[in-house]
């Protein structure tokens, strides 16, 4: 996977906008991720294979043919498994702390101190309250919000009982988690437990370690991320289909451009609202700007897209490139996937970098302390400051790629229910029927990051294309959804043209595109619930591991992706990664994750760098599940019956 020898290529992506900006950066001698990636070559083999250990100070230790154990005696299996667990812990912590931040805002609303934040989806609030045992009768939304927030807070701490949100999962899966003793009992305590287990001299059996990792990952997917999605929907509205545009071309040479980047939608939500504030628009006009454009990067982008239709400037590896357009007055960053290099790039332009999270500071970025009650006022002040910065833009250096693609997003489960069921009945029935009779072979989730180790976006786009061609319905989130959107695959008509005949027919009949953008990375919880909804609808088994479904993260890079992969596998899903976890230094750990796991959770991992082969493997898995369900056989029998009948006639 190391880059080819010779001069660095500017062809780093399938997206021409990325290549154009990388070339520009190189002519201006501004370093980007691709240059730094080159400088890192060759990357450490011990790190790549997961067999270096820095967990105590008798080390660092690394495993070689000569030194088969660390100073303490830990072998390659223990070391690789412990390293993997630390990644799961960090990923879980990140998603869940994001969830907690949202719960805090919900709590503020419940106390009447929420400022401009309000309950945008009271129905979802009440449904959630009822599900989690919070009294709703005779109480106001605000009262319910306060108590529901308290319930969610309780889900973070340790308790004797398993997390309450696990009850959203299929019954059979819950029973399996109980049997395997991997039910999380609090998000924070699950993370702490992993840190404890991986401390020098505690848990050493790689199988036992990895099962512990699954437990923590469940606290990510079914608890922290589920809460994050739920509270976002309650506060900001449950997404509905919405049109927008994507790629760097959404930035305008005439408007004040503000980028929101990171993951937590709280302040960006206020920026979205304030971006159409008449007073601010008048102020922008006064300063000679044609308006204010707020566009997103990474998952903050997905959040404001899903609910406000704000345009997306790009996915993960476009953050530096956005500033390189010279047309960005301000980039507002919060948490996760924000490169520390942004300050260096911003320094070469007039761009103001503003950091808004109390836990995240970037050297040389302006820091503000976000406050829910003052959220709207803070957003207005930020936009005003960006407008003031417009006059500092060096027009001679503005270089905005022309690429800008239409996109339709906003497919929450609620939306899918509604679209499939038509006006009167909410149901997944038409989807289940189409899967059962084989017009749709199955469902695939494609998620995760982009990575300079591969031709950026390409793996996502090719995989998605191959799957819809083979009549597999694709659900996407995160940077994967943005990659496919840039390639024009999230325009329903375009994707329909590429879909297999029977998938196309179903999508046209029920009015959904063959690739559904379900949101940000915490919204992978929506994928878990989509699987559960399909099961509840009936006819496709009793557990997630029965479903003709598969997951993929073709260009993953973050620890969050490691946690996500594990909670899908712990939920019974087959997950194909574009490149392996850092465990290949241990054959045993690799075998446990990629083979033995199937006998334990019904799910397993597989590494496959070639997107066409990945699609074939996912389809083979889907067909295996269809066979096990008997729906392939049933169909043949039905045809035979008809033939028989004809013969009889
Ligand atoms: Fe980050 Fe969520 Fe990865 Fe994109 S996909 S690079 S984690 S923004 Ni989650
Ligand atoms: Fe080395 Fe063991 Fe310490 Fe790890 S825990 S650094 S393997 S001595």
User: What percentage of the chain exceeds 70 in pLDDT?
Assistant: 96
Question: For residue 604, how far is its CA from the centre of ligand 2 (angstroms)?
Answer: 29
Q: How far apart are CA 50 and CA 63, in angstroms?
A: 9
Question: For residue 73, how far is its CA from the centre of ligand 2 (angstroms)?
Answer: 8
Q: Which residues line ligand 1 (CB under 6 A)?
A: 298-299, 316, 337, 448-449, 478-479, 520-521, 558, 560-561
Question: For residue 203, how far is its CA from the centre of ligand 2 (angstroms)?
Answer: 13
Using the predicted structure, report yes or no on whether residue 78 has a pLDDT greater than 80.
Answer: yes
**pLDDT score at 511:** 82
Find residue 551's DSSP bridge partners.
445, 575
Is 72's C-beta closer than 6 angstroms to any atom of ligand 2? yes
Q: Whose C-alpha lies nearest to ligand 1, atom 2?
A: 299
Is 90's C-beta closer than 6 angstroms to any atom of ligand 2? no
Using the predicted structure, report yes or no on whether residue 569 has a pLDDT greater than 70.
Answer: yes
pLDDT digits (tens, 9 = 90+) for 193-209: 999 999 999 999 999 99
Mean pLDDT for the stretch of residues 65-91: 98
Question: For residue 190, how far is its CA from the centre of ligand 1 (angstroms)?
Answer: 22
Mean pLDDT for the stretch of residues 25-37: 97
Is 200's C-beta closer than 6 angstroms to any atom of ligand 2? yes
Using the predicted structure, report yes or no on whether residue 377 has a pLDDT greater than 80.
Answer: yes
Backbone angles phi, psi at 406, to 5 degrees: -70, 150
Question: For residue 160, how far is its CA from the centre of ligand 1 (angstroms)?
Answer: 33
CB 105 within 8 A of CB 117: yes
Using the predicted structure, report yes or no on whether residue 319 has a pLDDT greater than 70.
Answer: yes
Q: How many angstroms separate the first and last alpha carbons of the chain?
A: 63
H or E segment to which residue 87 belongs? helix 76-110
Mutational test site, ligand 1, from 97, 298, 477, max ligand atoms within 8 Å of CB: 298
DSSP line for 526-570? HHHHHHHHHHHHSSS-SSGGGSSEEEEETT--SHHHHHHHHHHHH
**pLDDT score at 640:** 53
In this structure, the dihedral spanned by the alpha carbons of residues 318, 322, 324 and 328, taken in order and rounded to 10 degrees, is -170
Is 74's C-beta closer than 6 angstroms to any atom of ligand 2? yes
55 token code pair: 């967990």
**pLDDT score at 427:** 86
What is the DSSP code (8-state) at residue 444?
E
CB 216 within 8 A of CB 188: no
Q: How far apart are CA 560 and CA 335, in angstroms?
A: 13
**pLDDT score at 4:** 54
Q: Whose C-alpha lies nearest to ligand 1, atom 1?
A: 337
Ligand 2: atom nearest CA of 201 is 5
Ligand 2: atom nearest CA of 71 is 8
Q: Whose C-alpha lies nearest to ligand 2, atom 7?
A: 70
Question: For residue 479, how far is its CA from the centre of ligand 1 (angstroms)?
Answer: 6
Q: Strand 405-409 to strand 242-246: parallel, antiparallel, or no bridges (unpaired)?
A: antiparallel
Question: For residue 450, how far is its CA from the centre of ligand 1 (angstroms)?
Answer: 8
218 token code pair: 């469940």
Q: Which of 70-79, 327-336, 362-371, 496-505 has the lowest mean pLDDT?
A: 362-371
Q: How far apart are CA 80 and CA 9, in angstroms?
A: 34
Q: State how far the alpha carbon of 429 is from the alpha carbons of 445, 505, 622, in Å.
A: 20, 16, 19
Using the predicted structure, report yes or no on whether residue 588 has a pLDDT greater than 80.
Answer: yes
Q: How many CB atoms lie within 10 A of CB 56?
A: 15
pLDDT level of residue 636 (50, 70, 90 thresholds): low
pLDDT digits (tens, 9 = 90+) for 341-372: 999 999 999 999 999 998 999 888 999 988 88
Backbone angles phi, psi at 116, to 5 degrees: -80, -10
Q: How far apart are CA 430 and CA 445, in angstroms?
A: 19
Mean pLDDT for the stretch of residues 500-518: 93
pLDDT digits (tens, 9 = 90+) for 401-443: 999 999 999 999 999 988 887 666 778 999 999 999 999 999 9
Question: For residue 587, how far is its CA from the centre of ligand 2 (angstroms)?
Answer: 19
Ligand 2: atom nearest CA of 70 is 7
pLDDT digits (tens, 9 = 90+) for 520-537: 999 999 999 999 999 999
**pLDDT score at 639:** 52
Question: For residue 71, how far is its CA from the centre of ligand 2 (angstroms)?
Answer: 6
Q: Where are the beta strands (DSSP E) in 285-426?
A: 292-297, 312-314, 330-333, 352-355, 366-367, 405-409
Mutational test site, ligand 2, from 52, 58, 209, max ligand atoms within 8 Å of CB: 58
**pLDDT score at 421:** 77
Using the predicted structure, report yes or no on whether residue 1 has a pLDDT greater than 70.
Answer: no
pLDDT level of residue 552 (50, 70, 90 thresholds): very high
Tokens 């988690």 — which residue?
177
Question: For residue 198, how far is its CA from the centre of ligand 2 (angstroms)?
Answer: 11
* Cis ω for the linkage preceding 504 (within 30 of 0): no
- Nearest ligand, CA 78: 2
Ligand 1: atom nearest CA of 298 is 8
Mean pLDDT for the stretch of residues 488-512: 92
Mutational test site, ligand 1, from 260, 452, 479, max ligand atoms within 8 Å of CB: 479
pLDDT digits (tens, 9 = 90+) for 453-499: 999 999 999 999 999 999 999 999 999 999 999 999 999 888 899 99
Find residue 476's DSSP bridge partners.
446, 517
Question: For residue 605, how far is its CA from the centre of ligand 2 (angstroms)?
Answer: 27
Average pLDDT, the chain: 95
CB 104 within 8 A of CB 372: yes
Mutational test site, ligand 2, from 200, 202, 203, max ligand atoms within 8 Å of CB: 200
Using the predicted structure, report yes or no on whether residue 102 has a pLDDT greater than 80.
Answer: yes
Is 67's C-beta closer than 6 angstroms to any atom of ligand 2? no
Q: Which of 148-157, 181-190, 503-512, 560-569 has the lowest mean pLDDT?
A: 503-512
Q: How many CB atoms lie within 10 A of CB 36?
A: 12
**pLDDT score at 643:** 59
Ligand 2: atom nearest CA of 54 is 6
Mean pLDDT for the stretch of residues 615-623: 98
Residue 586: which residues within 8 A CB-CB, separation 6 or more?
49, 50, 51, 76, 77, 79, 80, 81, 206
- Nearest ligand, CA 480: 1
H or E segment to which residue 266 belongs? helix 265-274
pLDDT digits (tens, 9 = 90+) for 241-277: 999 999 999 999 999 999 999 999 999 999 999 999 9
Is 46's C-beta closer than 6 angstroms to any atom of ligand 2? no
Is 575's C-beta closer than 6 angstroms to any atom of ligand 2? no
pTM, 2 dp: 0.95
**pLDDT score at 420:** 85
- Nearest ligand, CA 262: 1
Tokens 């099961």 — which residue?
535
- Nearest ligand, CA 52: 2
Mean pLDDT for the stretch of residues 563-589: 98
């Amino acid at each position: 996977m190391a880059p080819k020898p010779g001069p660095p290529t500017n062809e780093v992506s399938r997206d021409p906008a990325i290549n154009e900006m990388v070339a520009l950066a190189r002519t201006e001698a501004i370093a980007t991720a691709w240059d730094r990636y080159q400088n890192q070559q060759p990357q450490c083999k011990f790190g790549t294979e997961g067999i270096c250990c820095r967990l105590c100070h008798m080390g660092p230790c690394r495993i070689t043919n000569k030194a088969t154990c660390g100073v303490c005696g830990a072998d390659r299996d223990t070391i690789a498994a412990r390293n993997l667990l630390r990644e799961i812990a960090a990923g879980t912590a990140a998603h869940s702390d994001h969830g907690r931040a949202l719960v805090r805002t919900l709590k503020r609303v419940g106390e009447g101190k929420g400022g401009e934040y309000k309950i945008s989806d009271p129905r979802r609030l009440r449904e959630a309250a009822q599900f989690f045992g919070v009294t709703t009768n005779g109480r106001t939304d605000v009262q319910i919000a306060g108590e529901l927030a308290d319930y969610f807070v309780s889900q973070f701490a340790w308790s004797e009982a398993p997390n309450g949100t696990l009850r959203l999962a299929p019954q059979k899966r819950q029973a399996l988690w109980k049997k395997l003793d991997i039910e999380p009992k609090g998000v924070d305590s699950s993370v702490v437990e992993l840190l404890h287990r991986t401390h020098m001299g505690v848990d050493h059996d790689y199988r036992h370690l990895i099962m512990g990792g699954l437990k923590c990952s469940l606290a990510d997917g079914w608890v922290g991320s589920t809460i994050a999605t739920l509270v976002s929907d309650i506060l900001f509205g449950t997404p509905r289909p919405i049109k927008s545009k994507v790629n760097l071309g959404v930035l305008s040479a005439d408007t004040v451009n503000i980028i929101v980047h990171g993951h937590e939608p709280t302040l960006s939500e206020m920026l979205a609202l304030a971006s159409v504030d008449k007073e601010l628009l008048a102020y922008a006009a006064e300063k000679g700007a044609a308006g204010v454009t707020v566009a997103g990067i990474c998952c903050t982008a997905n959040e404001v897209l899903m609910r406000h239709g704000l345009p997306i400037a790009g996915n993960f590896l476009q953050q530096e490139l956005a500033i390189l357009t010279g047309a960005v007055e301000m980039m507002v960053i919060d948490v996760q996937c924000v490169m520390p290099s942004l300050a260096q790039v911003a320094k070469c332009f007039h761009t103001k970098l503003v950091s808004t999270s109390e836990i995240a500071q970037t050297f040389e970025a302006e820091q503000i302390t976000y406050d829910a009650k003052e959220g709207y006022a803070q957003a207005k002040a930020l936009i005003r400051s960006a407008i003031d910065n417009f006059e500092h833009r060096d027009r001679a250096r503005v270089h905005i790629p022309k690429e800008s693609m239409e996109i339709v997003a906003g497919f929450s489960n609620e939306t899918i229910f509604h679209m499939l069921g038509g006006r009167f009945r909410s149901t997944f029935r038409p989807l289940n029927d189409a899967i059962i009779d084989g017009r749709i072979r199955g469902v695939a989730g494609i998620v995760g990051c982009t990575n300079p180790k591969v031709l950026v976006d390409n793996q996502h786009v090719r995989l998605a294309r191959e799957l819809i061609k083979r009549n597999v319905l694709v659900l996407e989130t995160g940077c994967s959804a943005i990659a496919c959107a840039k390639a024009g695959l999230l325009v329903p008509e375009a994707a329909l043209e590429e879909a297999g005949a029977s998938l196309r027919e179903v999508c046209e009949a029920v009015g959904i595109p063959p690739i559904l953008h379900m949101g940000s990375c915490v919204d992978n919880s929506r994928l878990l619930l989509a699987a559960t909804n399909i099961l509840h609808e009936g006819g496709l088994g009793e557990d997630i591991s029965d479903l003709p479904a598969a997951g993929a993260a073709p260009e993953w890079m973050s620890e969050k992706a490691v946690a996500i992969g594990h909670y899908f596998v712990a939920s019974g899903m087959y997950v194909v990664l574009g490149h392996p976890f850092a465990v290949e230094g241990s054959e045993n750990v690799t075998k446990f994750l990629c083979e033995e796991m199937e006998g334990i959770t019904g799910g397993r991992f597989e590494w496959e760098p070639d997107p066409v082969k990945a699609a074939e493997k996912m389809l083979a898995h889907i067909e295996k599940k269809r066979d096990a369900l008997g729906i392939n056989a049933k169909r043949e029998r039905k045809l035979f019956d008809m033939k028989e009948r004809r013969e009889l006639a």
